[in-house]
């Protein structure tokens, strides 16, 4: 509607299995899906084309959005590590980007993570070293995605990365919003995905007393307390505002409980989402379901988010700001269409080239 605030579109999260696709594509139909590709989905390269064809065929309509997320584990079975420019990681990225391009996905997503055992002594020096070590593979990833006409994205990580499994890992890279801005500053066109649950756990950790947590977590909390980061969610989001592409939506509690239902946790999601809904492309429901094949909590989040978006859509556009002649470090966040990233071309599978 002319003269009203543009708002995000709403996506559900799921894997490209028949059961999950049937569940996520049932009514009420979302605006799109963010598809998590597990290692099992990409391990066999001969299965990629049939999977892409099936996803293209099941697309409900031409405006239905796909975003593709890369796996937690790389092709050699190890946890994906952005600081390791290995053949396994390079091939993993190549396959994920190929699938994204083949199904006409608008964007592809990987995690800004350098996973280490829970007992690792984190430090600012280690963080800076790992950021530098991550640049070669990050550059390769951005080039691969942009060459295929897909927007490359990176996502933030919680203080304790459970890795969708029973593993407990820490990472010096990816917790702080400053790390996502570090990569986006160096690689124009790279966008940012912020997982609010991950961010909430990180912000909680900044405020915790090391003496009040389990001994195994005390070194991590001591490190977090010494970080040069604000513990306010608004400041976290402002740090990546020029590059913010989408938001993963679920709640969080304490230092470990991520992916909680929308209304259960430490975060007031309504208050957080309402002001950012006009500034991002997508809101992705990402609760961790008791049964991954049934999006019960995601559907609850979908209903709540639709209510917020309905209210925001009817709001009048804010007045134009006064023109300033001072240098503006965030000019990229105020492009003519309100988006820091260009639109991506969409094509048929045949036009995407070979793997």
What is the pLDDT at residue 354? Answer: 43
Torsion of the alpha carbons at 290, 28, 4 and 34, rounded to the nearest 10: 50
Task: With CA atoms as reference, report the closest residue to 168 among 119, 123, 212.
Answer: 119
d(CA 76, CA 340): 35
The CA-atom distances, in angstroms, between 197 and each of 90, 245, 269, 273 are: 28, 16, 10, 12
Task: With CA atoms as reference, report the closest residue to 71 among 107, 104, 102, 108.
Answer: 108
Six-digit token string for 189: 């066109």
Task: With CA atoms as reference, report the closest residue to 189 among 107, 247, 112, 282.
Answer: 107
Task: With CA atoms as reference, report the closest residue to 243 among 147, 118, 117, 342.
Answer: 342
Fold of 9-204+230-317: TIM Barrel (3.20.20)
Q: In angstroms, what is the C-alpha Rg of the chain? A: 20
What is the per-residue pLDDT across 8-28, written as a single tens digit (0 to 9) for each?
A: 999 999 999 999 999 999 999
pLDDT of 204 over the 80 cut: yes
pLDDT of 319 over the 60 cut: no
Report the pLDDT averaged over residues 221-247: 97
Task: With CA atoms as reference, report the closest residue to 141 among 170, 161, 103, 111.
Answer: 111
* Domain extent listing, the chain: 9-204+230-317
What is the pLDDT at residue 1? Answer: 41
d(CA 147, CA 154): 17
Report the pLDDT averaged over residues 157-168: 78
The CA-atom distances, in angstroms, between 150 and each of 144, 207, 261, 338 are: 9, 38, 30, 19
Report the pLDDT averaged over residues 101-128: 96
What is the pLDDT at residue 313? Answer: 81
What is the per-residue pLDDT across 29-77, written as a single tens digit (0 to 9) for each?
A: 999 999 999 999 999 999 999 999 999 999 999 999 999 999 999 999 9
> Model confidence at 165, in pLDDT bands (50, 70, 90)?
low
Cβ atoms of 252 and 13 within 8 Å: the answer is no
Average pLDDT, the chain: 89
Cα–chain center distance at 75: 21
Report the pLDDT averaged over residues 204-208: 97
Q: How many residues in total does the chain contain? A: 355
**Neighbour tally for 310: CB within 10 Å:** 10
Higher pLDDT, 348 or 183: 183
pLDDT of 320 over the 70 cut: no
**Neighbour tally for 64: CB within 10 Å:** 17
């Amino acid at each position: 509607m002319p003269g009203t605030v543009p708002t995000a579109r709403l996506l559900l999260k799921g894997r490209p299995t028949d059961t999950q696709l049937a569940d996520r594509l049932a009514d009420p139909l979302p605006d799109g899906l963010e598809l998590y590709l597990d290692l099992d989905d990409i391990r066999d390269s001969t299965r990629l084309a049939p999977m892409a064809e099936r996803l293209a065929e099941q697309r409900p309509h031409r405006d239905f959005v796909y975003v593709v997320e890369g796996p937690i584990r790389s092709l050699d079975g190890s946890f994906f590590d952005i600081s390791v420019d290995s053949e396994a990681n390079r091939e993993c990225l190549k396959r994920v980007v190929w699938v994204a391009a083949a199904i006409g996905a608008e964007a592809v997503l990987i995690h800004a993570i350098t996973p280490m055992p829970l007992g690792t002594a984190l430090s600012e020096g280690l963080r800076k070293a790992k950021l530098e070590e991550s640049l070669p593979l990050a550059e390769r990833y951005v080039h691969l995605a942009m060459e295929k006409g897909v927007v490359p994205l990176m996502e933030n990580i919680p203080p304790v990365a459970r890795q969708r499994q029973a593993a407990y890992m820490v990472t010096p890279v990816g917790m702080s919003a400053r790390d996502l801005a570090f990569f986006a500053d160096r690689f124009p066109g790279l966008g940012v995905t912020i997982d609010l649950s991950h961010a909430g756990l990180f912000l909680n950790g900044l405020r915790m007393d090391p003496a009040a947590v389990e001994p195994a977590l005390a070194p991590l909390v001591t490190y977090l307390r010494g970080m040069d980061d604000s513990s306010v969610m608004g400041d976290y989001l402002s740090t990546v505002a020029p590059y913010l592409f989408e938001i993963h939506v679920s709640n969080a509690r304490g230092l470990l409980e991520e992916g909680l239902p929308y209304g259960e946790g430490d975060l007031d999601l309504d208050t957080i989402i309402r002001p950012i809904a006009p500034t991002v492309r997508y809101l992705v429901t990402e609760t961790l379901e008791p049964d991954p094949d049934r999006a019960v909590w995601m559907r609850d989040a979908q209903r709540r988010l639709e209510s917020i978006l309905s209210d925001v859509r009817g709001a009048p556009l804010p007045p134009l700001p006064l023109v300033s002649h001072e240098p503006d470090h965030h000019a990229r966040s105020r492009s003519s269409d309100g988006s820091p990233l260009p639109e991506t071309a969409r094509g048929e599978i045949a036009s995407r080239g070979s793997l």
